[in-house]
């Protein structure tokens, strides 16, 4: 089983417009509301593809009732920590070209006691877990030591840990040596403190993290796909989506696909190809809809060793886009 922790969950409202123009009135063409937050999205994608998962997150009151109903509809088992006001509302606006604009609330003002409650909740499921996944931004009042505690507690039980976050939280998690981190291009640059304009630069940075004790590094690269590095080697993969609808949650689906493939004993190459396929399939779906098995035959994934690739070009909305940790 793969257990996810989402410290800062959200109800995601995705609004589709023809063209977004600042200062003007728009008519929405479509509205999608999903239970969200990065770890929640990972669990939703896993459940949609028959992989055992448990989503752990704080929620209480009326938002918890709605959140639970949506997770039940997605077939996602869940365990809520009773914290009032923990569920945010995030708004995403997507135009006809697939360009995404996000407005994220900061989340509940939280305490160290709240962080302990989150770790205790994850601990209720650790015995049955192959992976524990800590995902997304942290609510105000909780710092990156939450993910450090997650890594340390899981390690005590021999459970592997993946971390998908950014900024200070990512730096603190890296110091605790998780089994996997999944930054995007910009987050990796921030982590190592230097620009990484080519795929070869990203490769070197990822290899340095693996040499320092990180089990594997998977970097989402927007229009340029993703790169995976572990002690056995490195691989780059990309996919093009003919009719993109939304990039929201694409990186979360990439991570879910990667983990699902590893659960089947996949190689580094096959795990990344699977992750990119899941992420690209998500781009072809509205809002933060996650792909099901029937969606996964659409994207064609290309695995390439083209390391001199220039990563400074403008993003193309039809490719797997970077994810923001919300």
By annotation, the residues acting in catalysis are: 252
Cα distance between residue 316 and residue 303, in whole Å: 19
Question: Which residues face 133 on adjacent strands?
Answer: 4, 162
Pairing of strands 30-36, 180-181: unpaired
Q: Left if phi > 0, otherwise alpha if psi is -120 to 50, otherwise beta: which for 249?
A: left
Q: Are 43 and 76 in contact (CB under 8 A)?
A: yes
DSSP letter at 223 equals: G
Cα distance between residue 229 and residue 129, in whole Å: 24
Q: Are 94 and 44 in contact (CB under 8 A)?
A: no
Q: Are 98 and 88 in contact (CB under 8 A)?
A: no
Cα distance between residue 311 and residue 166, in whole Å: 20
Cα R_g (the chain), whole angstroms:
18
Q: Are 161 and 140 in contact (CB under 8 A)?
A: no
Cα distance between residue 29 and residue 316, in whole Å: 22
**CB-count exposure of residue 275 (10 Å: 0-12, 13-18, 19+):** buried
- Closest alpha carbon to 110 in 88, 79, 133, 92: 88
Cα distance between residue 88 and residue 12, in whole Å: 8
Pairing of strands 88-94, 78-81: unpaired
- Closest alpha carbon to 56 in 130, 119, 146: 119
């Amino acid at each position: 089983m793969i257990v996810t922790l989402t410290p800062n969950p959200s109800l995601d409202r995705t609004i589709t417009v023809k063209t977004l123009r600042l200062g003007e009135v728009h008519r929405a063409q479509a509205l999608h509301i999903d239970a969200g937050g990065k770890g929640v999205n990972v669990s939703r994608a896993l459940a949609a593809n028959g992989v055992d998962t448990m989503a752990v997150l704080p929620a209480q009151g009326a938002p918890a009732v709605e959140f639970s109903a949506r997770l039940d509809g997605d077939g996602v088992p869940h365990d809520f920590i009773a914290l009032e006001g923990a569920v945010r509302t995030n708004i995403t606006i997507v135009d006809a070209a697939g360009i995404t604009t996000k407005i994220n609330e900061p989340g509940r003002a939280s305490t160290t006691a709240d962080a302990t409650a989150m770790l205790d909740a994850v601990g209720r499921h650790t015995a049955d877990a192959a992976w524990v996944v800590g995902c997304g931004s942290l609510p105000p009042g909780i710092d990156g030591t939450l993910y450090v505690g997650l890594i340390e507690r899981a390690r005590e039980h021999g459970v592997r840990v993946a971390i998908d976050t950014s900024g200070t939280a990512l730096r603190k998690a890296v110091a605790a040596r998780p089994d996997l981190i999944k930054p995007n291009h910009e987050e990796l640059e921030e982590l190592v403190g230097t620009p990484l304009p080519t795929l070869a630069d990203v490769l070197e940075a990822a290899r340095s993290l693996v040499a320092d004790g990180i089990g594997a590094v998977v970097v989402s690269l927007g229009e340029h796909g993703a790169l995976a590095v572990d002690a056995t080697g490195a691989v780059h993969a990309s996919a093009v989506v003919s009719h993109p609808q939304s990039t929201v949650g694409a990186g979360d689906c990439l991570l879910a696909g990667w983990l699902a493939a590893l659960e089947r004993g996949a190689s580094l190459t096959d795990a990344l190809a699977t992750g990119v396929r899941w992420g690209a399939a998500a781009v072809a779906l509205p809002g933060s809809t996650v792909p099901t098995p029937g969606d996964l035959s659409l994207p064609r994934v290309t695995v390439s060793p083209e390391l001199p690739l220039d990563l400074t070009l403008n993003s193309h909305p039809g490719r797997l886009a970077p994810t923001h940790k919300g």
